[in-house]
Amino acid sequence: MVTRSIENIEFWGGDLALDFANTTEGPGKDHLRDFADLVTWTRRAGALPPTARVERGDLGRALELRAAIYDVFAALASDDAPPRGALRSLLAVHADAVREGTLEDGDWAWAGSHPDRPLWPIAVAAVDLLRSERLPRLKMCGNCRWLFLDRSRNGSRRWWSMNECGVHTKMRRYRARRGG
């Protein structure tokens, strides 16, 4: 198993917002350790152009957005209503993104070096997913709790990756059945 870092973490969520929510693996395994990690991740994800300058900002706003996205989509994946506070937090960043952005050929674009610039495409992606026909494909991994869009033909996936979570889950079940 490869040790994940911000430089190699997978993009298996099937959506920018879900991939951002998956930049943590629980307490003690946060891949966003500082603002530079946020910039690195957004560049890798294609959400921030390689040449874009961004003023150094507070990572706290990014962590709040990530928690809001996770809480909203985890609730939806469990067929629950999203928490109102989390939805308000997400929509606040989305409103900033809309206010600061422009539409270019049908896509959002942002200029300048505002510290929240890396967050804006993520918030837009999250709201777009909430309004999307893809939302019924939203799942939460039965092993690690990462969020993903199930792209399988019959919509029956239970984990984001068979090679990671699927094999570990199956091994645990096998050992439990065998008594060892």
Amino acid at 114: H
Residues in a beta bridge with 147: 140
Amino acid at 33: R
Query: What's the pLDDT tens digit per position in 36-84?
Result: 999 999 999 999 999 999 999 999 999 999 999 999 999 999 999 999 9
- Taking the chain (180 residues) in runs of 10, the rounded mean pLDDT of each run is 79 94 84 96 96 94 97 97 98 98 95 96 98 95 86 66 56 62
As a whole number of angstroms, the distance between CA 56 and CA 30 comes to: 19
In this predicted structure, what is the pLDDT of residue 171?
A: 58
CATH fold label, 16-178: Jann2411-like fold (1.10.3300)
As a whole number of angstroms, the distance between CA 74 and CA 58 comes to: 25
* Crossing angle of the two packed helices 59-77 and 120-130, in degrees rounded to 10: 10
In this predicted structure, what is the pLDDT of residue 69?
A: 98
Return the number of other C-beta atoms located less than 10 Å from residue 176's C-beta: 9
Mean pLDDT, rounded, of the chain = 88
As a whole number of angstroms, the distance between CA 90 and CA 75 comes to: 14
Please state the pTM of the whole predicted model: 0.87
- CB of 119 closer than 8 Å to CB of 62: yes
